[in-house]
A = this chain, B = another copy of it.
Amino acid sequence: MAKLTSRKEDYSKWYNELVIQAGLAENSSVRGCMVIKPYGYAIWERMQQRMDGMFKETGHENAYFPLFVPKSLFEAEEKNAEGFAKECAVVTHYRLKNDPDKPGKLMVDPEAKLEEELVVRPTSEAIIWNTYKNWIQSFRDLPILLNQWANVVRWEMRTRLFLRTAEFLWQEGHTAHATRTEAIEETEKMLDVYAEFTEGFMKIPVIKGLKTPTERFAGADETYCIEALMQDGKALQAGTSHFLGQNFAKAFDVKFTNSEGQQEYVWATSWGTSTRLIGALIMSHSDDKGLVLPPELAPIQIVIVPIYFKDEQLAAIDEKVQQLLADFKKIGVRVKYDNSDKQKPGWKFNEYELKGVPLRIGIGPRDLENNQAEIARRDTGEKQSVGFDNIVEFCENLLNEIGDNIYKKALDFRNEHITSVDNWDEFVDVIENKGGFVSAHWDGTDETEEKIKELTKATIRCIPLDNPLEEGKCVLSGMPSKQRVLFAKAY
């Protein structure tokens, strides 16, 4: 297998090669759409399982709404429609027929034109709020706390595996509430769930914040986000939670009778994370040898590789490993024994490093004699010999330690890359050279935000939730400002 380009040499190339070589995903013959390969999908499955559990613990249920949104529903909430109109795949016909001019070929049947075009959902607020309308009469019908796991399509012009694809997999929560306060609480609660998931399970530190008005979700009154930092110093939005106010309730006329018998519009939230998180995972932890996966998330946590010259040596190792496999499985560790004779140990070592398996156990004839094995950590590359008597407990502890270490490493990197700046030259210098988040004063206007983006490609990633108020002057305009916000170039 070809050696990976190093991150230093070409970060973007490194990423693309890694996704392909580790067998995570590949481009398909459909423009901008990817094939998620089994190893990549196994990671997504583990993420889904954990997140789904967290949604259920916080009182949500799953449901499923149609893939298609009739154009008249799609356009009902105008801001939302305007925000997504330019990237909508549209179904206009419902039948193909034989092409009379080309034997064996098909053509769209012009007689099977839909009366009303169907938009392939770029997000589901419209179809869902049109449904909620029929479910909600009284305050007793509220709240509605639903989530759906689905595919969505946004016709992006420039795509990259996992990070930006025309079709992607995601979850979208859509909730309905009787009061503004309750809806805001829900929005914030789900942001916390996302942060806990991303930091605790994926080991990616995030900053919780609010988007500026120009960066808000189309149709939202407020967009909360979690922002992560990649190793190349670019930020990545890892999840968003939107307070939708009464915008969709008004667009779809969804009212309820409150406990005083009065009619009110319903309050809404929506929140989503997607396969994009796999891109964040790769770019947060991996190195020039390949993926580095947090143990809890890794499809294979430990790989055992036998090192031998003769068949009887392998037989002896095989026997020893059987007990080990049983012991690991008993405590729920996902372990793989690769005793295939198609590849040499050195090849296997590289392969499992590329795939990010957190621990590798190598066992040779000499190890057997000494009643021990060699354990190699993927994150630090450290190796040590450990006796078979306490190897299971040792590995279990080490897996936890690796998770902690990966998180700490990413957190240290992130913290070293939040730079406070107070003048424009410094701002440009940090954005251009050091990268990462720049904490700077901003005058609060769309114009300045836009101007900074034009000049530096940096956008306001968020206004951190725990932001201290502080008098200052906008880094570009010099106008007064009450707090710093975080700028960065972003994926």
Contact = CB atoms under 8 A, between A and B. Distances in A.
Contacts of A42: 61-62
B146 A38 contact: yes
A73 interface: yes
A74 B150 CA distance: 23
Given A67-B33, A106-B75, A92 B90 contact: yes
B88 A71 contact: no
Given A33-B67, A35-B63, A28 B127 contact: yes
Contacts of A70: 29-30
A381 B36 CA distance: 48
A28 B121 CA distance: 14
Interface in A21-74: 26, 28-30, 33-38, 41-42, 44-45, 61-71, 73-74
Contacts of A44: 64
A409 interface: no
B117 A66 contact: no
A421 interface: no
B90 A62 contact: no
A310 interface: no
Given A66-B167, A130-B29, A61 B90 contact: no
Contacts of A63: 35-38, 41
A105 B75 contact: yes
Interface stretch (A79-87, A187-195, A311-319): A79-87
Q: Which of A65, A70, A87, A97 has the most CB of B within 10 A?
A: A65
Interface string A81-110: 100011111111111111000001110100
A30 B64 contact: no
Interface residues on A, range: 35 or more
Given A35-B63, A35-B65, A153-B67, A28 B131 contact: yes
Contacts of A155: 94-95
Contacts of A90: 91-96, 108
A366 interface: no
A81 to B, nearest CB: 6
Interface string A126-170: 010011000000001000001000110101000000000001010
A115 to B, nearest CB: 9
10 contacts: A28-B66, A29-B130, A38-B146, A41-B62, A74-B96, A87-B94, A87-B95, A88-B96, A95-B155, A120-B120
